[in-house]
Amino acid sequence: MKFEKLSEYKLRVTVSNDELLENSNGDLDNLMSNPSKARNTFLEILDKAEDEVGFHIDNSRIRIDAKSMYNGDFIFTITKLIPKSKSAKKVKPLKVPVQKDDTLVYSFVDIEHFFNFCNFLKKQKINRLREFCKTIELYKYNGKYILICLNINQSYRYLGKLYSGITEFGSFLTSQESVAMLIKERGTPVIKHNAIYTSQKNFK
């Protein structure tokens, strides 16, 4: 669980899927549909935030915005609503850099899962993959097939659909370029040039 105090009134919390399942006793759907359980979970999160980054809500009303990430994490942005008596005070907004991953590494248990993913993209008409990233390579490493995508274009029109689809066939490993380079160094190349397009073209 990661806490980032963006301002006196705003907090960002990154929670892994495993952590959220642990807090919900393994029943995430029940947590989200049960206001009482959800409230208790967020109160526990806010208690930890107070200890770790000094974010105090006191008796203030709060707003919680949730976002699910492609790697299974959840990002909660908690905003402490400013009382009317303070609303006239001008607060200089804090500029927070947008987190953008230029590297994506996924593993597939076998080559068939990778081919099925490639066929899925073709059927869903998620194309123009050269615009997705500059490098798409497939390696075999530790008995699994590893897809490495480097220099990702964050403006790629099908980025969200691609991230959503890949989770049905493979498992997220990392977004760290250093790890990707290590796999490239130690792994065995399977398809080095535009692995997805090459698979779509040659393996149907």
- What CATH code is carried by the domain that includes residue 145? 3.30.70.1950
Same domain assignment for residues 109 and 73: no
Same domain assignment for residues 20 and 111: no
Q: Is residue 97 part of a domain?
A: no
Spatial separation of the C-alpha atoms in residues 123 and 19, rounded to whole Å: 35
The predicted pLDDT at position 98 comes to 42
Same domain assignment for residues 79 and 110: no
Q: Is residue 89 part of a domain?
A: no
Length of the chain: 204
Same domain assignment for residues 107 and 196: yes
Same domain assignment for residues 108 and 195: yes
Q: Of 5-19, 63-77, 188-202, which range is least confident?
A: 63-77
Our CA angle for 119, 122, 124, nearest 5°, is 110
pLDDT of 147 higher than 90: yes
Same domain assignment for residues 67 and 20: yes
Q: What is the mean pLDDT of residues 172-200?
A: 90
Cβ neighbours of residue 81 under 8 Å, at least 6 residues apart? 9, 60, 61, 62, 63
Report which listed range, 68-82, 142-156, 164-178, is most confident.
142-156
Contact between 5 and 54 under an 8 Å Cβ cutoff? The reply is: yes
**Mean model confidence pLDDT for the chain:** 80
Q: Is residue 75 part of a domain?
A: yes
Q: Is residue 41 part of a domain?
A: yes
Q: Is residue 95 part of a domain?
A: no
Span 12-47, pLDDT tens digits: 888 877 776 666 555 555 555 566 777 777 788 888
Q: Is residue 126 part of a domain?
A: yes
User: Which of 57, 84, 111 is the last residue in one of the domains?
Assistant: 84
pLDDT of 68 higher than 80: no
User: Which of 84, 111, 137 is the last residue in one of the domains?
Assistant: 84
Q: Is residue 76 part of a domain?
A: yes
Tell which wins on pLDDT, 106 or 201.
106
The predicted pLDDT at position 138 comes to 95
Same domain assignment for residues 108 and 194: yes
Same domain assignment for residues 41 and 69: yes
Our CA angle for 69, 74, 75, nearest 5°, is 95
The predicted pLDDT at position 89 comes to 52
Q: Is residue 63 part of a domain?
A: yes
The predicted pLDDT at position 99 comes to 44
Tokens of 194: 């535009």
Same domain assignment for residues 13 and 68: yes
Tokens of 170: 């493979």
Span 89-107, pLDDT tens digits: 555 554 444 445 688 899 9
Our CA angle for 140, 141, 146, nearest 5°, is 60
Domain extent for 45 = 2-84
| Number of domains composing the chain | 2
The amino acid present at 105, given as its one-letter code, is V
The predicted pLDDT at position 27 comes to 52
Our CA angle for 29, 32, 38, nearest 5°, is 135
The predicted pLDDT at position 35 comes to 67
Q: What is the mean pLDDT of residues 68-89?
A: 68
Q: What is the mean pLDDT of residues 168-196?
A: 90
Same domain assignment for residues 121 and 192: yes
Same domain assignment for residues 65 and 109: no
Same domain assignment for residues 132 and 59: no
